[in-house]
Amino acid sequence: MVTQTQLISLFRSFAQGDDGRFRSLAMDLAADAGKRGHHRLADEIKTLMRTAGEGRGPASRSTDPIPVIKPRGELAGLVSANFPLTRLSDMVLEDGLRERLRRIVEEQRHRETLAQHSLKPRRKFLLVGPPGTGKTMTASALAGELSGPLYTILLDGVITKFMGESAAKLRLVFDAMQNGRGVYFFDEFDALASKRLTGNDVGEARRMLNSMLQFLDEDGSDALILAATNHPELLDPAVFRRFDGTIEYHLPSGGDARRVFEKALFAFDLGAVNWTVVEGESAGLSQADMVRAAEDAARTAVLENDALFTTAIVVAALGDRRHYPTYNTK
């Protein structure tokens, strides 16, 4: 049986012109059908995919994504650019959080309507929460929803020990934002805007914090600026009011483990899994831990159990994640 998620993934890859993913999903479906004894269907899908030659697949459609403007010169060492296909629907989110993220997308999409009433979309958000709960994924998903580029600021490039240089590099990044729309993502934001200024580079860290505050204040671009941290307590209090809102992430709660597993393993039949047991065994693990456990479980199921999932296989994979607590900390 083709699952609903499989079909949606297939249609989405087509709509996004992601030829590679479309083909790989179609071949998964063919393999799945073959395994279930539907050999005619499997052969038909395979033949169709083979005859849909170059230039006739979904990639040739006019809705191909706009190419990313690659950062050049000095900026190339400060920012990395990509064009994510992730969507909010790929994420398992609490209702309230999903709604907040959806609103951010809506405001961005309807900026002209807002402008008619002299309003602007909110553009600066702080994402706060434990490791592996979806902050970085959110940056990708918002860029994906807006069909725009995601520019991730490279801390190693921006933070230098030379006097005044970090502030100058940060200015380059903010200057680049003036040139077009996109999502700008400052990960590990506490490294850029910490209140605990200690060690040899106090002067430089203070200059960077002050520059950060100033650039956030002055920024009048159309960019969506996201900053993420696992340690909001380390941030200078002056930082918070520079943002339009703080968005909190949490470890998964009731029912989330099942949803994370089902999304990660959409191509498999999970009918034999006892979700009450899995939920119990997942307590304390992050969404990222669960996705990795799901992938571990899939490898075991494929190699050792004819691609059939059992509760025991999933529980063993979750146990393996738990045995390495250092994976769960930064």
Alpha-carbon span 316 to 33, nearest angstrom: 28
User: Quick one: which H or E segment has residue 2?
Assistant: none
Give the range of 58-66, 87-95, 102-110, 212-220 binding ligand ATP by CB under 6 A: 87-95
Query: Among candidates 35, 52, 9, which has minimal Cα distance to 307?
Result: 35
Q: Which residues pair with 228 in a beta bridge?
A: 127
State yes or no: residue 108 binds ligand ATP (CB under 6 A): no
291 binds, among ligand ATP, Mg ion, none (CB under 5 to 8 A by kind): ligand ATP
Q: Counting contacts by CB under 6 A, is residue 282 touching ligand ATP?
A: no
Query: Residue 271, exposed/middle/buried by CB under 10 A (0-12, 13-18, 19+)?
Result: exposed
Of the two residues 127 and 170, which places its CB atom closer to Mg ion in the complex?
A: 127
Name the one range near ligand ATP by CB under 6 A: 85-93, 169-177, 191-199, 274-282.
Answer: 85-93
State the nearest-atom distance from the C-beta of 271 to ligand ATP, in Å: 22
Q: Where are the alpha helices (DSSP H) in the chain?
A: 4-15, 19-35, 39-51, 95-109, 111-116, 135-145, 155-158, 165-177, 202-218, 237-240, 256-264, 275-281, 287-304, 311-322
Q: Among ligand ATP, Mg ion, none, what binds residue 58 when CB lies within 5 to 8 Å by partner kind?
A: none
**Residue 287 interacting with Mg ion (CB under 5 A):** no
Size of the chain in residues = 330
Site string for ligand ATP, 134-153 (x = CB under 6 A): xxxx----------------
Neighbours of 88 (CB within 10 A): 18
From 287, 300, 301, 318, residue interacting with ligand ATP (rule: CB under 6 A): 287
Instruction: Name the residue nearer to Mg ion (CB basis): 86 or 136.
Output: 136
Q: Is 101 helix (H, G, I), strand (E, B) or coil?
A: helix
The amino acid present at 145, given as its one-letter code, is E
Q: How far is CA 325 from CA 101, 153, 252, 281, 284, in A?
A: 30, 28, 17, 15, 11
232 binds, among Mg ion, ligand ATP, none (CB under 5 to 8 A by kind): none
Contact map string, positions 126 to 165, toward Mg ion, x by CB under 5 A? ---------xx-----------------------------
**At its nearest, how many Å lie between ligand ATP and the CB of residue 244?**
20
Q: Distance (Å, rounded) from C-alpha 25 to C-alpha 98?
A: 27
- In whole angstroms, how close is the CB of 134 to ligand ATP at the nearest point? 3
Q: Which residue is nearest to Mg ion (CB)?
A: 136
How many residues touch ligand ATP under the rule CB under 6 A: the total is 16
DSSP 147: T
Residues 15, 20, 26: CA angle, nearest 5 degrees = 75
For the bound state, the minimum distance from the C-beta of residue 179 to Mg ion, rounded and expressed in Å, comes to: 26
Q: Compare residues 216 and 288 and give the one whose CB is closer to Mg ion.
A: 288
User: Is residue 93 within the footprint of ligand ATP (CB under 6 A)?
Assistant: yes
Question: Cα separation of 292 and 297, whole Å?
Answer: 9
Min dist CB 21 to ligand ATP, Å, is 16
Q: Which does 92 bind (CB under 5 to 8 A by kind): Mg ion, ligand ATP, none?
A: ligand ATP
Minimum CB distance to ligand ATP, residue 152 (Å) = 11
- 230 touches ligand ATP (CB under 6 A): yes
- Cα–Cα distance measured from residue 91 to residue 102, given in angstroms and rounded to the nearest whole number: 12
Q: Which residues contribute to the site for ligand ATP (CB under 6 A)? A: 91-93, 131-137, 230, 249, 260, 287-288, 291
Q: Which residues contribute to the site for Mg ion (CB under 5 A)? A: 135-136
